[in-house]
Structure 1
Amino acid sequence: MQSLKWSVISFTEKGAELAEKIKRLSKEQQLPSEIHTYHGRKQVENLNAWTKEQFSLRNAIIFIGACGIAVRTIAPFLKDKLTDSPVLVLDEAGNYVIPLLSGHVGGANEIALLLAELLGAVPVITTATDINNAFAIDVFAKKHELSIDKKEGIKKVSAKVLEKKKLSMTIAPEYAAKVDVAIGTPEDGQKPEPLLTLIPKEYILGIGCRRNKEEQELKAFAENCLKEAGVDWKQIRAIASIDKKKDEKAILKLAAEHGIPFLVFDAETLSRVPGTFDTSAFVASQVGVDNVCERAAMAACRDNGRLVLQKRAENGMTLAIAKEDWRLTLYEE
């Protein structure tokens, strides 16, 4: 499960105790999530503003209290099932955990199961494919690093699955050459338009920038670089940088806006990345490694990474794009 920040908010003393229990047990069980707890009556002056901030950072939001509070609070900030924050509700006794929003793509169902195991609670899962133990195309896409094009197709595919109809799938020629098992015939006939298209996430954005860079400026720079490389945001698996940038708001907002993980590496790790890079003695003196964007992009690649856009620099920002081999796996490696 991808590491997420969990923002747990409670409104009573009993709820606050449960929130701290979740934080303590998660640490003991070494769960991969960073957990922050908030007391709604003491630490959060404006619940709407707090919730808006959590959505902008795409943090997982866990309400300890009534479902009605959660529903009314999150309603103004709902935009897209593919990018909305996962939202869950726990009763203050810790008996039930309910994923309300973004159960599959956002991982709310996974979080619910983790919390249920942690607390001995009952997970209340309501997504149709889960309760019918059926194939879920959005879970498949998430697991295999695929972006979903035209989310309306999810409903159509799920309907076929739930009606127990056969579901077919094809793979584009450029990816078919990389598989170990091929299904089908070599003829290239006319194919009907699919219900849903899944786009491989095979690119990494490596980014470096001056401290406190303006968010819109970095966004515009990144989009220009993507356009130059002929790459769409849906093809990006991760944004990568040096660990000194782990709290850089402009990069965090860029990653959150597109629902992309932000990976960071220390200077020593980046310095060991093999390859020929556009180096800078000044950068080395500031952060301990001679190049951030190209090295970070390559460090984040998992299989046969190579630079497809070398370092671009503009007004205190640098960006490079690396491509890795994407392949479909039939079982866990």
Structure 2
Amino acid sequence: MRFAIISVTKEGQKLASDMELVLRNDPTVIKVDLFHKNVKDTVSNLFNDYDCWVAIMATGIMVRIICPIIKSKLKDPAVLVVAENKKHVISLLSGHMGGGNKFSIKIAGVIGAVPVITTATDLNGKMGIDALANQYWFDVKQPQLIKAVNQLIAENGKVDLHLPSRFRFLENHPLVTRSYCIHIWEKSFIRASLPGKEFENELDLYPKRIVAGLGSKKGVAGEQVFFAIRSALQHLHLPLERLDALATVDLKKDEEGIIDAASKSDLPLEIVTLNEISDFKHVDCTPSKLVQREFGVQGVSEPVSLIRAGESSRLILKKTAYNGVTVAIAVSTN
């Protein structure tokens, strides 16, 4: 995720710096930038460059600034307001689809505050369809039905949710089972069905492609690679079944540990050539001096994950080392 933290006072600026130190060590945080004062121009000009804005200031200031620039709950970034005394973190905008509610919990944990969440489904211990889409990286095809689905759930109704067998893990998610009647079907996408006319009340979710890129030392065991993959996914609160593929560089295509982990994961292992990596440029990639020295390319796990996730992909977990194995995870944005 990409965070922008903006402050207006000296005390707020200090709090912003403290937040930055913690967030930069979070593997799910790809970028964090600090801004001070000039709030209207900064937010207006850079609003959609970040996934989440953390405003350390009065709520009214941010309300007045964002009102003219917000466009859609499907596209607008999350906006949080943090009290300067570190007591509360308010999820102000894009609580579900933009991840504002979960970001408010994250930031509250960083500074020891109480998250303030006001969405009805969350208050009733349920999971809205847009929150489900955000958590598991699903693309919503009929967004006009989100309100109706969430309203029924908030009023203690249950929505029929048809899942491909690969997503059976959702049957064990307590918030999902409180909100939906689960059905397994043979199609590759997810469908939420409301009572009423067929087709007119069906909301479809299509899984975005998620790829874990792997790098490793020579001779690493399959168990180590498999542990690294599972550990990386835990940072994202995703199960192994949500991955679409593993990827590595051609120099590692015969590495038994990686092959064994792919077999155990029941996932395809996709190979990226050194030439592909050499020609690849992406703002999310962090160059590795060691890899550059040994192989002549900027890195392995990050570029291979982005390349195999597809065009317009982005990192959701930056390269993270686990006992001789490096993992990065990317998702397609198409």
Aligned mate of 2:12, from 15, 28, 45: 15
Whether the 8 Å CA contact 1:137–1:154 is kept in 2: the answer is yes
What SS does structure 2 have at the residue aligned with 1:106? coil
Aligned mate of 2:89, from 51, 76, 97: 97
Q: How does 1:228-247 map to 2 (within 5 A)?
A: none
User: What is the alpha-carbon distance in structure 2 between the residues aligned to residue 13 and residue 60 of structure 1?
Assistant: 22
CA, structure 1 residues 69+164, in 2 after alignment: closer, same or farther (shift >3 Å)?
Answer: same
Whether the 8 Å CA contact 1:270–1:299 is kept in 2: the answer is no
Aligned mate of 1:39, from 9, 17, 36: 36
Alignment deviations for residues 74-120 of structure 1 (CA, whole Å, 9 cap, x no partner):
11221111111110101211111101111112111111111212222
The letter for the 2-side match of 1:122 is V
Do residues 117 (structure 1) and 115 (structure 2) align? Answer: no
Aligned residue in 2 for 1:192: 198
Do residues 55 (structure 1) and 47 (structure 2) align? Answer: yes
Whether the 8 Å CA contact 1:15–1:92 is kept in 2: the answer is yes
The letter for the 2-side match of 1:201 is K
Alignment deviations for residues 290-333 of structure 1 (CA, whole Å, 9 cap, x no partner):
xx9x96655448xxxxxxxxxxxxxxxxxxxxx99xxxxxxxxx
User: What is the alpha-carbon distance in structure 1 between the residues aligned to residue 210 and residue 165 of structure 2?
Assistant: 18
Aligned residue in 2 for 1:157: 149
Do residues 146 (structure 1) and 138 (structure 2) align? Answer: yes
CA, structure 1 residues 161+21, in 2 after alignment: closer, same or farther (shift >3 Å)?
Answer: same
User: What is the alpha-carbon distance in structure 2 between the residues aligned to residue 179 and residue 151 of structure 1?
Assistant: 24
Instruction: Give % identity.
Output: 30
Shift of 1:11: 0.8
Aligned residue in 2 for 1:133: 125
Aligned residue in 1 for 2:62: 70
What SS does structure 2 have at the residue aligned with 1:32? coil
Aligned mate of 1:24, from 21, 24, 41: 21
Shift of 1:156: 0.7
Q: What is the total number of aligned residue pairs between the two structures?
A: 224
What SS does structure 2 have at the residue aligned with 1:123? strand
CA, structure 1 residues 112+177, in 2 after alignment: closer, same or farther (shift >3 Å)?
Answer: closer
Over aligned residues, Cα RMSD in angstroms?
4.1
Aligned residue in 2 for 1:201: 208
What SS does structure 1 have at the residue aligned with 2:3? strand
Shift of 1:48: 3.3
Whether the 8 Å CA contact 1:271–1:295 is kept in 2: the answer is no
CA, structure 1 residues 168+92, in 2 after alignment: closer, same or farther (shift >3 Å)?
Answer: same
Instruction: Give ranges in structure 2 of 5+ residues lacking alignment.
Output: 172-181, 187-196, 212-246, 254-269, 282-291, 311-330
Alignment deviations for residues 189-220 of structure 1 (CA, whole Å, 9 cap, x no partner):
xx81234221222388xxxxxxxxxxxxxxxx
CA, structure 1 residues 119+157, in 2 after alignment: closer, same or farther (shift >3 Å)?
Answer: same
CA, structure 1 residues 15+297, in 2 after alignment: closer, same or farther (shift >3 Å)?
Answer: closer
Aligned mate of 2:80, from 79, 88, 95: 88
**TM-score scaled by structure 1?**
0.55
Whether the 8 Å CA contact 1:7–1:54 is kept in 2: the answer is no
User: What is the alpha-carbon distance in structure 2 between the residues aligned to residue 98 and residue 107 of structure 1?
Assistant: 13
What SS does structure 1 have at the residue aligned with 2:68? helix
CA, structure 1 residues 54+269, in 2 after alignment: closer, same or farther (shift >3 Å)?
Answer: farther
Instruction: Give ranges in structure 1 of 5+ residues lacking alignment.
Output: 205-267, 302-322, 325-333
User: What is the alpha-carbon distance in structure 2 between the residues aligned to residue 107 and residue 161 of structure 1?
Assistant: 19
The letter for the 1-side match of 2:159 is L
Alignment deviations for residues 103-157 of structure 1 (CA, whole Å, 9 cap, x no partner):
1121111111112122221111101111111122112122332101121211111
The letter for the 1-side match of 2:133 is A
